[in-house]
Amino acid sequence: MKLRKFVTAGVAVCAFLSIAACSDDGDSPSTTTAASSAATSSATSGGGGGLTDSSKPPTAAQLNTMLQTALDPNVPASEKTELVQNSEKDPVIFDKLVEAAAANPDLEYEIVAPVRPAGTDQAKANVKVKFPDTPEQQVEALIVFDNGTWKLSSTTVCLLLSAANETSPMCPATS
């Protein structure tokens, strides 16, 4: 059950990062890495504001692309830290998410539109999460504009990790 909670938390986190597929599609590692890099580059570049326009929150499609990047075992954790606020303090968290996704290939999740403004430099999105033989759940995630780009908020990540009895150096100590 602990793994299920952690995966749910990870999915919600990643979903807010806009990534949408856990299963292996048969691509070779170099093709998968190139596709993820191209998708990330496309999602973060101009055209429609991208992820670098603080006045326009990312789309659900952009967030799903970010999620795919976060769960791609071929993308180094050092590149993934641009996806979650304060994650440079714990880049290993992405390795844990990749492992959890691989251990739960039947898990389905998707960030769904609309992404809604939630104040200055903040937005919210819903993530649909579905485990086999269980009802679909919706989890809300907060996105923040931080250091020139939209990222999943560390507040959301830390709350989810806490719910799964996990800790991370990116989360402030709680008493």
The sign one gets for the Cα dihedral 102, 106, 107, 113 is positive
- Predicted pLDDT at 7: 52
* Alpha-carbon gap, residue 149 to 52, rounded angstroms: 4
Q: Residue 144 pLDDT > 50, yes or no?
A: yes
Tens digit of pLDDT for each residue in 25-51? 333 333 333 333 333 444 444 333 579
Coil, helix or strand at residue 171:
coil
Query: For residue 106, is pLDDT > 80?
Result: yes
Q: Output the average pLDDT for the chain.
A: 75
> pLDDT band for position 151 (50/70/90)?
very high
Q: Which long-range contacts (CB under 8 A, 24 or more apart) does 129-137 make?
A: 129/8, 129/11, 129/12, 129/15, 131/4, 131/8, 131/104, 131/106, 131/107, 132/106, 132/107, 137/8
pLDDT above 70: residue 13:
no
If one counts every other C-beta atom within 10 angstroms of the C-beta of residue 135, the result is 6
**Mean pLDDT, rounded, for 80-84:** 91
Q: What is the DSSP string of 76-140?
A: -HHHHTTSBTTGGG-TTHHHHHHHHHHH-TT-EEEEEEEEEE-STTEEEEEEEEE-TTS--EEEE
Pick 133 or 17 by higher pLDDT. Answer: 133
Cα separation, 146 vs 143, whole angstroms: 9
Q: Which has the higher per-residue pLDDT, 90 or 24?
A: 90
Which residues are 141's β-sheet partners?
Answer: 125
Least confidently predicted of 71-80, 98-107, 121-130 = 98-107
pLDDT of residue 134: 87
- What is the C-alpha to C-alpha distance for residues 47 and 91, in angstroms, rounded to an integer? 29
**What pTM was computed for the model?**
0.70
8 A C-beta contact, residue 168 and residue 157 = yes
Lowest-confidence range among 10-14, 43-47, 122-126?
43-47
